[in-house]
């Protein structure tokens, strides 16, 4: 018989995407049953009005429904989105459109912090809780097809300074920040959405470049880190970082001392999906030290991952304890966020406000 505690713990680790532009009844029911830790938005979920702008009223209504679907006495799911600026920003006009963060490479940390706070206030107003940002990758490979201008620069120190200022702004605006992609996706020549990149750098190079912004983020208290589906041969050959205990539990948790929530990048990406069955990938990621799993594309993968996690926790006490620890971190993050969250402002007064558009122009200039 499946323990209700196991079922609830599995639910906290499942951070799910959805299809359609309104909350699916099955997803709302799953939230009510405690089977969803977070809901993730993509461009496919956004309605456009006749004038080409996004229907932010529909987004706000949907997020209210997601939050309200939680059972009485239970914490609502986190509502998350990729809102970096540039080519990776789901929420656009009539909200403020932000430049890519490479534009911040020569700007002051103070400007980055103000931009982060303005972005957060807009996200908060339409019901979001968490932004998968800032990017902590260092843009050290001009041929990188997936990071590029998403990074805050090419110098590790500058990236750390500006990205963490941006993270402070997100926090001030009421949004949970998430640093990504640990332990660094900036020097790859392949896109992990499409293939499994491999980096052969030695530990000295990783310490000097890739890991420096993450060390600073941990010291600064960034509460969530996202993994990279990249093989770091010096740490564990042949295994994507997301599924590697040497990288996640050994390096990030133990050696670097990160105590917050570790979320996988999307397990539907080919860097993982081409080499591992969905349920196996989910179990391996949790066993390696991840606390939450992004499962954003396919409902069958979501169901298979849930079933595999339940089976593994039911059959293996060691895995069950690891799962309970992961769920506990997610619950603690949610509790801190919802206990301190204030009244959400009217999105019409916040999204695309003239002061925010001026900030975006200053950042881009």
Q: Of 160, 82, 145, 96, which is closest to residue 125 (Cα–Cα)?
A: 96
Structure tokens at 316: 């293996």
Most distant CA pair in the chain, distance:
61
Q: Report d(CA 112, CA 79) in Å as an integer.
A: 23
Angstrom distance (rounded) from CA 365 to CA 359: 10
Measured torsion, CA atoms of residues 184, 279, 16, 255, in degrees rounded to the nearest 10: -30
72: number of CA atoms within 13 Å, CB side?
0
Taking the CA atoms of residue 92, residue 95, residue 100 and residue 104 in that order, the dihedral angle to the nearest 10 degrees is: 180
Decide if 240 contacts 229 (C-beta within 8 A): yes
Q: Tell me, yes or no, if 265 is annotated catalytic.
A: yes
Please confirm whether the linkage preceding 94 is cis (ω < 30° from 0). yes
Please name the helix (run of DSSP H) or strand (run of DSSP E) that holds residue 176, with its range, or none.
Answer: strand 176-182
d(CA 82, CA 95): 14
Alpha helices per DSSP H over the chain:
4-13, 25-32, 56-68, 109-125, 156-172, 203-208, 211-220, 270-273, 278-288, 299-315, 317-340, 347-350, 354-364
Query: Would you state the torsion angle of the CA atoms of residues 323, 328, 334, 338, taken in this order, to the nearest 10 degrees?
Result: 150
Q: Give CA angle at 317 (280, 73), nearest 5°.
A: 90
Task: Return the SS3 of 195.
Answer: coil
Closest among 91, 172, 84 to 135, alpha carbons compared: 84
Q: Which is catalytic among the residues 131, 265, 266, 291? A: 265
Q: Please give the positions annotated as active site.
A: 265
């Amino acid at each position: 018989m499946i323990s209700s505690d196991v079922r609830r713990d599995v639910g906290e680790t499942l951070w799910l995407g959805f299809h359609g532009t309104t909350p699916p009844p099955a997803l709302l029911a799953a939230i009510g049953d405690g089977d969803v830790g977070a809901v993730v938005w993509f461009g496919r979920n956004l309605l456009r009005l006749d004038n080409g702008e996004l229907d932010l009223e529909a987004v706000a209504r949907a997020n209210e429904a997601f939050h309200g679907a939680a059972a009485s006495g239970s914490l609502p799911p986190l509502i998350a989105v990729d809102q970096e600026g540039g080519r990776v920003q789901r929420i656009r006009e009539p909200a403020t459109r932000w430049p890519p963060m490479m534009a911040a490479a020569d700007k002051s940390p103070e400007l980055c912090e103000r931009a982060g706070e303005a972005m957060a206030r807009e996200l908060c107003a339409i019901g979001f809780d968490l932004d998968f940002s800032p990017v902590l990758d260092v843009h050290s490979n001009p041929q990188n097809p997936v990071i590029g201008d998403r990074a805050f620069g090419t110098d590790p120190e500058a990236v750390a300074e500006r990205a963490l200022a941006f993270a402070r702004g997100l926090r001030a605006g009421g949004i949970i920040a998430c640093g990504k992609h640990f332990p660094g996706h900036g020097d790859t020549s392949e896109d992990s959405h499409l293939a499994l990149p491999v980096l052969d750098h030695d530990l000295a190079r990783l310490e000097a470049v890739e890991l420096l912004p993450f060390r600073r983020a941990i010291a600064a208290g960034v509460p969530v880190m996202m993994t990279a589906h990249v093989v770091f041969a010096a740490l564990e050959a042949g295994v994507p970082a997301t599924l590697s205990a040497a990288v996640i539990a050994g390096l990030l948790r133990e050696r670097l001392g990160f105590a917050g929530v570790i979320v996988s990048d999307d397990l539907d990406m080919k860097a993982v999906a081409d080499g591992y069955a969905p349920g196996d990938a989910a179990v391996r990621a949790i066993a390696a030290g991840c606390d939450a799993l992004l499962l954003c594309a396919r409902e069958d993968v979501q169901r298979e991952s849930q079933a595999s996690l339940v089976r593994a926790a039911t059959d293996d006490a060691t895995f069950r304890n690891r799962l309970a620890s992961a769920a506990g971190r997610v619950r603690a993050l949610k509790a801190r966020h919802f206990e301190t969250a204030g009244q959400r402002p009217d999105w019409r007064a916040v999204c695309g406000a003239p002061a925010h558009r001026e900030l975006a122009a200053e950042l881009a200039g």
